[in-house]
Amino acid sequence: MIVWYLVRALDPKLLVAVGWEPVLGSFVARVEGVPTGALVDPDRPTVAWFGSHSGELPTVQHLQEAIGDYALLGSELRAALEADRIGRAGQAASESTLGTLQLVASAPSPVPRTSGCPIPRPAGRCSSWP
């Protein structure tokens, strides 16, 4: 099961979520609203994915390096991500174990899908998986 955490983005126009994907053996990140310089579809912001290949981002530090232009991972989030990687396989994180972290969603593994809503959006909007 993948647990998604919302991360405060360096640019408030972006939506950044991170998690550990046990099937891939990789941390994953999703950055929505990445500027591309081209207006493709104003109703569907551009999404950048990180860690979508097997073993691509094996450590929290690799994840931070991948998303460093978009967000910084605090120590509490780093600890939660590491706990997900080593100890919470198959069980959802409870609110008491998350502390002040904002849990975005839990989804069964594996990540790849062609439709659905991996990250709830404000006002009930949903972004599709690529």
pLDDT value at residue 125: 36
Residue 55 Cα to chain centre, angstroms? 16
Domain ranges in the chain are: 2-108
Report whether 26 contacts 63 (CB < 8 A). Answer: no
What percent of the chain lies above the pLDDT cut of 70?
Answer: 63
Beta partners for residue 19, in sequence order = 28
Q: Residue 13 contacts by C-beta under 8 Å, 6 or more apart in sequence?
A: 33
| Confidence at 4, pLDDT banded by 50, 70, 90 | very high
Residue-wise pLDDT for 48-68, tens only, equals: 999 999 999 999 999 999 999
- Indicate the angle between helix axes 75-86 and 60-67, nearest 10 degrees: 130
Cβ count near 9 (within 10 Å): 18
pLDDT at residue 16 is higher than 50: yes
Contact 105, 118 (CB under 8 A): yes
Q: Note the pTM of the prediction, 2 decimals.
A: 0.69
Q: Is the pLDDT of residue 5 over 50?
A: yes
Residue type, 9: A
Residue 34 has pLDDT above 90, yes or no: no
12-16, 29-33, 93-97: least confidently modelled range: 93-97
Whole-angstrom distance, CA of residue 75 vs CA of residue 39 = 36
Instruction: Tell me how far CA of residue 97 lies from CA of 20, 70, 101, 103, 106, in angstroms.
Output: 16, 26, 9, 11, 15
Share of the chain above pLDDT 90, in %: 54
Q: What is the pLDDT of residues 92-110, one digit of tens each?
A: 444 544 545 555 555 555 4
